[in-house]
A and B are shown apart, each in its own frame.
Chain A
Amino acid sequence: MARVLVGVKRVIDYAVKIRVKPDKTGVLTDGVKHSMNPFDEIAVEEAVRMKEKKVASEIIAVSCGPPQAQEVLRTALAMGVDKGIHVEVAGPEYETLQPIHISKILAKIVQNEKVDLVILGKQAIDDDCNQTAQMTAAVLDWPQATYASKIEYGSKEITVVREVDGGLETIKCKLPAVVSADLRLNEPRYATLPNIMKAKKKPIQKLTPKDLGVDTSPRVQIVSVEDPPKREAGVILPDVDSLVGKLKEGGHI
């Protein structure tokens, strides 16, 4: 049975209207509702289903971020994860934390915890990087199966159906491996009350990047964060002829 690690990122809830900071250095996060990255939720669900099918022995969830990152770890624990690891990175250091750093942190934990399978969301909905799974596989020098929409578990290998342009690709890869979860992999469950209560008693280990020997000094600099261009107001035209005229004028027909 495999030991599984899942990554859970705390992101601004997708239902929240994003507001850019006046100084254009980022987006406003204070007092804004946060939740677990939806793709990470899918990764957690997959791991919990593995445990229910008795193909996983233990699930460890890792979150890197400020103290509030523990909220998403609790959610993961309530869904059925056994243990949480919180790698605390706060303030300006967190703002420039990139997939390269996260993947090194994850790789270190994978080695310490003797993990056989890593399942990560394919991307986070805040920075849309879509790099962490790939980089983690590279750091560990493990095979990777990205954009998984179906996973079948064998004793030493997994068969993964991937969503690619133009259809589905089925690949086999040997364990240990890194998988990134796509939207259609599963539908995450609701954590039930008894499990929410139990989750409060489950352990969350606290670490820092330093403990793991990972250097988190920034590799990129944020130059500017700006709102997308505002949509211009439409016009009401009196008849079809003027519509055709307008479309021609704009070079659309």
Chain B
Amino acid sequence: MLPSCRESIKTAVLLVPKFARFDRCVHTVRLKPNYTSVNYNVSRGGFAHLQKQHLYFFRDLLGEHRMISDTIELEKYNVDWFNNLRGCSSLVLKPKTTQEVSQILSFCNQENLAVSPQAGNTSVVGGSVPVFDEIILSTELMNKIISIDDTSGVVVCQAGCVLENLDTAVAEKGLMVPLDLGAKGSCQIGGNVSTNAGGLRLFRYGNMHGNVLGLEAVTADGNIIECLGTLKKDNTGYHLKHLFIGSEGTLGIITKVAIQCTTRPTCQNVAFLGAQNFRKVLKTFKLAKQDLGEILSAIEVMDSATMEFIGEKLNINSPIGDYPFYLLLETSGSNTNHDSEKIFKFLEIALNSHFILNGTVAVEHAKINALWSVRERIPEGFNLCGHLFCYDVSLPVENYFILVDEMKIHMGSLADRVFGFGHLGDGNLHLQIETKEFSQQIKDHLEPYIFKRTAQFGGSISAEHGMGFLKAKYLNLARPPSTVNFMKDIKQMFDPKGILNPYKVFP
């Protein structure tokens, strides 16, 4: 048996995407960030402080095993994914049922205790960690899949299901969750819905407002709002579910969702292309929409600075040599011959028209994953920077890259690197500014300038990441006062004491 064991190990090495082999052990030792309350000019709301009798209530409700108050264990929940923000909560609660969430919120509301709802804690705008000592309500134990209907394609599950696990479960029935993002192994569906997460396939399948058929949520006073319909058509009264989608846990905590899954594609192709300039990228994009039509499922772009970035941080290299712009294009369909005929014809035209300079195509799982990993693993490099200012903006496609060029000039020698990548199909740009360390001077030079320019270009200052804590103060830049006031009225109605996710979304 020994030789075959040896083989399986060797084969295992082969499974690592070929140009992504790198030493995962290269970690810089990172210090814990300062408390958010110290780093940012923000003052604590008039909430009650956690007392012994509160703890007794929670212990009676959940038992000791579903509460965390150990300082070291708490860190994971207090610090955000970027290691930039740090709350000082002293309690994590892990309910398993809607009833428990309701009882917790009802109690907190009555006692005036602030609550920070948390799913996978993968927010990049500080939406999922407490700012001060808010109680963290983690949905991680609410991970039951309630039903999967393989005829209608509707999955009903609890909010704490990890996206990837949910997708694996529905895959057994030939279905696919119409949402895919880099954080899929950690993020939870409840968080995805609360933040109206976008991701890699929004271009084809639309956002959560379209794909969530129903949900159940608990408002601040513990009231359970049941809109867990599984119907495609249901025009009975106000569509309340939409208020919870994208409101980032400020109106209520989502406890269950019903999602319309799509049929899992049986064949996929991925093309990785190199282009001379952004004008040609747009021409390729237009041609792809025309020639690939319904099978086009994702179209991503990245610039040469992004490729340099992942080369330097993660030792990932371009599979096709160096070009000013790279495009990743995916098709998903049900007939291999049909799809490959289409994609090869498209690529031939794009190449002969000089829209693209070079490229490669993957039709096998392993190579498809390897090409995707070039794009999906970019965020892994973020934590290996001195400091990275990240912006997530939507722009009309014709202005998509002008902002990156403009920021390069605007930053001058203040930044080590300015790079852009994103979901071209949705006009969603991830603009990153790398610096040696955090500096208020650099931040002031960036903000609100970058937001003002985005608005002038006809864009949105938060495309898919939400406002969270970090962008909250710019809400007034994005929306007129009457609209913001109306949002505040709604918040007041759902959560009069403001205990749910305070310091977030609103300035």
Give A residues with C-beta under 8 Å from B.
13-16, 31, 33-35, 38, 123, 125, 128, 182-183, 187-188, 190-194, 196-197
A interface footprint on B346-363 (CB within 8 Å = 1, 0 otherwise): 011001000010111111
Q: Does chain A have a CB within 8 A of B19? A: yes
A-B contact pairs, 12 of them (CB 8 A): A13-B364, A31-B266, A33-B365, A34-B364, A38-B14, A128-B7, A183-B13, A190-B272, A190-B319, A190-B362, A191-B360, A192-B360
* B347 pairs with A35, CB closer than 8 A: no
Interface residues of B in 1-42 (CB under 8 A from A): 4, 7, 10-11, 13-15, 18-19, 21
Across the interface, which residues of A come within 8 angstroms of B19, CB to CB?
A: 187
Across the interface, which residues of A come within 8 angstroms of B487, CB to CB?
A: none
Give B residues with C-beta under 8 Å from A.
4, 7, 10-11, 13-15, 18-19, 21, 266, 272-273, 319-320, 344, 347-348, 351, 356, 358-367, 369
* B364 pairs with A183, CB closer than 8 A: no
Complex Cα distance A182/B11, Å? 10
Across the interface, which residues of A come within 8 angstroms of B367, CB to CB?
A: 35, 190
4 A-B pairs besides A13-B364, A38-B11, A192-B359 with CB distance below 8 A are: A15-B365, A38-B366, A190-B320, A194-B351
Complex Cα distance A35/B13, Å? 18
Nearest CB in chain A: distance from B66 CB, A: 16
Q: 10 shortest A-B CB distances, which residue pairs?
A: A15-B365, A35-B364, A190-B360, A193-B359, A190-B319, A13-B364, A187-B18, A183-B10, A15-B366, A13-B365
The total number of A-B Cβ pairs within 8 Å is 63
* B360 pairs with A193, CB closer than 8 A: yes
Report which of B348, B356, B365 forms a contact with A16, defined as CB distance below 8 A: B365
Among A31, A125, A182, A196, residue most surrounded by chain B Cβ atoms (within 10 Å):
A196
List the B residue with the shortest CB-CB distance to A16: B365
Across the interface, which residues of B come within 8 angstroms of A123, CB to CB?
A: 7
Complex Cα distance A135/B316, Å? 39
Complex Cα distance A38/B14, Å? 8
* A15 pairs with B360, CB closer than 8 A: no
Across the interface, which residues of A come within 8 angstroms of B266, CB to CB?
A: 31
Across the interface, which residues of A come within 8 angstroms of B272, CB to CB?
A: 190
User: Given A38-B14, A192-B360, A197-B351, are A13 and B320 neighbors across the interface (CB < 8 Å)?
Assistant: no
Complex Cα distance A183/B21, Å? 13
Complex Cα distance A33/B336, Å? 10
Nearest CB in chain B: distance from A63 CB, A: 16
Nearest CB in chain B: distance from A127 CB, A: 12
Complex Cα distance A13/B367, Å? 10
Complex Cα distance A143/B365, Å? 37
* B320 pairs with A35, CB closer than 8 A: no
* B348 pairs with A183, CB closer than 8 A: no
* B320 pairs with A192, CB closer than 8 A: yes
List the A residue with the shortest CB-CB distance to B356: A193
* A193 pairs with B351, CB closer than 8 A: yes
Across the interface, which residues of B come within 8 angstroms of A35, CB to CB?
A: 363-364, 366-367
* B18 pairs with A15, CB closer than 8 A: no
Complex Cα distance A128/B347, Å? 36
Nearest CB in chain B: distance from A11 CB, A: 11
* A194 pairs with B358, CB closer than 8 A: yes
* A188 pairs with B7, CB closer than 8 A: no
List the A residue with the shortest CB-CB distance to B7: A128
Nearest CB in chain A: distance from B271 CB, A: 8
Among A15, A34, A123, A192, residue most surrounded by chain B Cβ atoms (within 10 Å):
A192
Report which of B11, B273, B348, B356 forms a contact with A197, defined as CB distance below 8 A: B348
Nearest CB in chain A: distance from B352 CB, A: 9
Complex Cα distance A190/B360, Å? 6
Nearest CB in chain A: distance from B12 CB, A: 10
* B361 pairs with A196, CB closer than 8 A: yes
Across the interface, which residues of A come within 8 angstroms of B365, CB to CB?
A: 13, 15-16, 33
Report which of A31, A33, A125, A192 forms a contact with B364, defined as CB distance below 8 A: A33
Across the interface, which residues of B come within 8 angstroms of A128, CB to CB?
A: 4, 7
List the A residue with the shortest CB-CB distance to B321: A192
Nearest CB in chain B: distance from A225 CB, A: 16
Report which of B10, B15, B273 forms a contact with A14, defined as CB distance below 8 A: B15
* A192 pairs with B358, CB closer than 8 A: yes
Complex Cα distance A67/B361, Å? 22
* B364 pairs with A15, CB closer than 8 A: yes
Across the interface, which residues of A come within 8 angstroms of B320, CB to CB?
A: 190, 192
List the A residue with the shortest CB-CB distance to B348: A197
Complex Cα distance A194/B352, Å? 10
Complex Cα distance A128/B6, Å? 12
List the B residue with the shortest CB-CB distance to A15: B365
Nearest CB in chain A: distance from B499 CB, A: 35
Complex Cα distance A193/B361, Å? 7
Among A13, A16, A193, A197, residue most surrounded by chain B Cβ atoms (within 10 Å):
A193
